[in-house]
Structure 1
């Protein structure tokens, strides 16, 4: 199963100004060229730009109606009607969207490609190796591939130059939703061995080790995107007779984001020269859901593309119907945000302030 926000902006005062303030700023604009040398992306379907196209998996988005608003109007493997969070973040940083690692030809000049950034993100990926096992690149596998990239850069550039390049680059991490969605599924079948807090604690413990591993391979600037309110995605609403958000799932998102915040603070104290920006996607997105008109949205429950109740019984596939007014829908399909939603969220992550972004935003992180 592909992730919600897991996933995939405006400065914080624009969140209060509402849609018009945001629109006047223009969420598609780029804020300068080349603020960092490159961006390396780890994550799930919120950030997958085509890695899953190269896997034997059911978790793909390389078919219509995905990509209907992407340049060329064709599906690229992004779980979106257009650009996703990784694309918008690259635009903000003034760097090209990092290509999928699995798409890089073996005979290419890999040093040049790797210097410009790479995406390892894979739809369905989780922190745990057991999450959608065999269907995606787990976070551990993504880090294995990054280790290969690191080795190539060190071999070609020398250790000092490779480290200099990587220390200035942004390492974006968007992960966790799929692990929690699987937990919610297990909870509905009462096949649980841990409480929500115990489960999230185990996720955060694994994640801490994974981020340390990336740090030991040269990363210094982490842009960490927290999970959204996964209980509000159309798929989980569809399972409630009332169509309301799944309270248990949203509680998991809150626990996860709190745990990730504490863990990142601890890592910073341990590692010293590591810096990070944390974005509380859940809080930001709940504002859109609770006050949609203020942010230009008309539909907060139903997916734009799909079939059945809330367009959430069947995924966005070629036989599905899709809405014409995609800019006023929060959700594209039964798990993923529309291009508009992703763009707004990234703007907040990039230029926002507390309580949504801390201890600094991604613009400030990139300037260090």
Structure 2
């Protein structure tokens, strides 16, 4: 399996029919997920051990300062908003009492589909069921401000990206279930959250498949030969059967194994912290740190999403979804 496929995934585009048939724009994005799309929620969690509000994160972000993104710059949530002509949806915890008519980001570093994922290690994160609860509060405020009919129309046109599952897979070893039972439970639990979002007015979903995270620097670090973790990758493939491999050199990435920011072998012995080293050639690295993509990787990731290619998006393209 090619290393680069860690971030070039299949997207499951779901649309639940309603009364709108002509082409529509996207008025807002409501983002759910983990550190791949967290734009700063975890820095508002005082006890969280997984934070990205310290150097060298943000070195390539406008202003050059850490923002809470697990990246050297922007992440996929930023580039998705740019493609749709929107500003990046703010982190929910930065202003939890807002109405968020233009969208909001609930994603949290370390979060999983399951409530128990990482709770014994990271101490504080926002698992997907809690993110759904936060959206329920936002939904109440939208209805109060816009009225029931207008709020429903607004949400039916909005986009709901869901980027989550990797942390659950990484923590599979703590489960008493078989691999297939674990994957089945992940799928069924995710479906319940999607049903909950649908019940609150969401109609257009962009569900991102999990990557073969066994090829991330942290997982390779555990091998004396820097090979991918086959067991973790097998779980990823079972969870996302549509995932296909890709060639990293096609997109100009020369370093596909090592992280850019960190210390030790593959820069994966120590994560990206103020005492870590970071590379100068960040644009040709797939990974920024032990698990997360560089800004360049995230940008290319979203470009492919909008390339109108059915190789990566099913059952309809993102352009078709937006136009519904």
**TM-score, normalization by structure 2:** 0.89
Aligned residue number for residue 44 of structure 1 = 34
Asked whether 1:73 is paired with 2:64, we answer yes
Residue in structure 1 matching 2:190, options 197, 204, 207: 207
Aligned residue number for residue 102 of structure 2 = 116
Are residues 138 and 105 of structure 1, via their aligned partners in 2, closer, same or farther at CA, if it must alter by over 3 Å?
closer
Residue in structure 2 matching 1:178, options 161, 167, 171: 167
In structure 1, how many angstroms separate the alpha carbons of the residues matched to 2:175 and 2:26? 44
Contact 2:90–2:103 at 8 Å: present in 1 too? yes
In structure 1, how many angstroms separate the alpha carbons of the residues matched to 2:78 and 2:222? 31
Residue in structure 2 matching 1:221, options 204, 210, 233: 204
5+ long unaligned stretches in structure 2: 9-23
Asked whether 1:154 is paired with 2:137, we answer no
Aligned residue number for residue 130 of structure 1 = 116
Asked whether 1:57 is paired with 2:48, we answer yes
In structure 2, how many angstroms separate the alpha carbons of the residues matched to 1:256 and 1:140? 19
**TM-score, normalization by structure 1:** 0.79
Higher relative contact order (CA closer than 8 Å, sequence separation 6+): 2
Deviations 1:301-336 (A, max 9, x none): 000000010000100000000000000000000000
Q: Secondary structure at the match of 1:248?
A: helix
Aligned residue number for residue 104 of structure 1 = 95
Aligned residue number for residue 89 of structure 1 = 80
Q: RMSD over aligned Cα, in angstroms?
A: 1.7
5+ long unaligned stretches in structure 1: 10-33, 259-279
Q: Report which of the two has the higher share of helix.
A: 1
Residue in structure 2 matching 1:302, options 245, 258, 265: 258
Contact 1:68–1:81 at 8 Å: present in 2 too? yes
In structure 1, how many angstroms separate the alpha carbons of the residues matched to 2:277 and 2:95? 34
Deviations 1:81-107 (A, max 9, x none): 01101111101111110000000164x
Aligned residue number for residue 343 of structure 1 = 299
What is the deviation of 1:350?
A: 2.3
In structure 2, how many angstroms separate the alpha carbons of the residues matched to 1:222 and 1:122? 19
Contact 1:8–1:45 at 8 Å: present in 2 too? no
In structure 1, how many angstroms separate the alpha carbons of the residues matched to 2:197 and 2:112? 16
In structure 2, how many angstroms separate the alpha carbons of the residues matched to 1:336 and 1:8? 9
What is the deviation of 1:247?
A: 1.2
Contact 2:308–2:319 at 8 Å: present in 1 too? no
Aligned residue number for residue 293 of structure 1 = 249
In structure 1, how many angstroms separate the alpha carbons of the residues matched to 2:42 and 2:259? 22
Contact 2:41–2:92 at 8 Å: present in 1 too? yes
Asked whether 1:197 is paired with 2:180, we answer yes
